[in-house]
Amino acid sequence: MSAAEMTQALAGLNPENYQAAMKFIRYLLSTQRQSVAMVNRSKRFGVAKGKLYVPDDIDFCNEEVAELFGVQK
């Protein structure tokens, strides 16, 4: 999604959903600032190996999510 599309989608939200979306966006941006080197990967182990399902198509419910946020397509 381009910045223009994102701006247009945010502009269509009611004030409460807009504030929630902006809070989430600020959170995502703040997590990107952390250095990847800070993550210690040496102590990871596979407790969930084989127990998680990842669908082939992760976009299967985009319309439902857009409806929840009040975005018209």
Mean pLDDT of 24-29: 85
Domain range list for the chain: 3-35+50-68
**CA dihedral of residues 10, 28, 19, 59 (deg, nearest 10):** 50
Residues 6+ apart with CB under 8 A from 73: 63, 66
Q: What is the pTM of this model?
A: 0.40
Residues 6+ apart with CB under 8 A from 47: none
Count the neighbouring beta carbons within 10 Å of the beta carbon of residue 71. 17
Mean pLDDT of 48-52: 80
Band of the pLDDT at 39, cuts 50, 70, 90? low
Q: Please report the pLDDT score of residue 2 as a whole number.
A: 81
Q: Please report the pLDDT score of residue 16 as a whole number.
A: 92
6: nearest Cα among 16, 18, 14: 18
For residue 19 the two structure tokens come to: 């504030």
Q: Is the pLDDT of residue 10 over 80?
A: yes
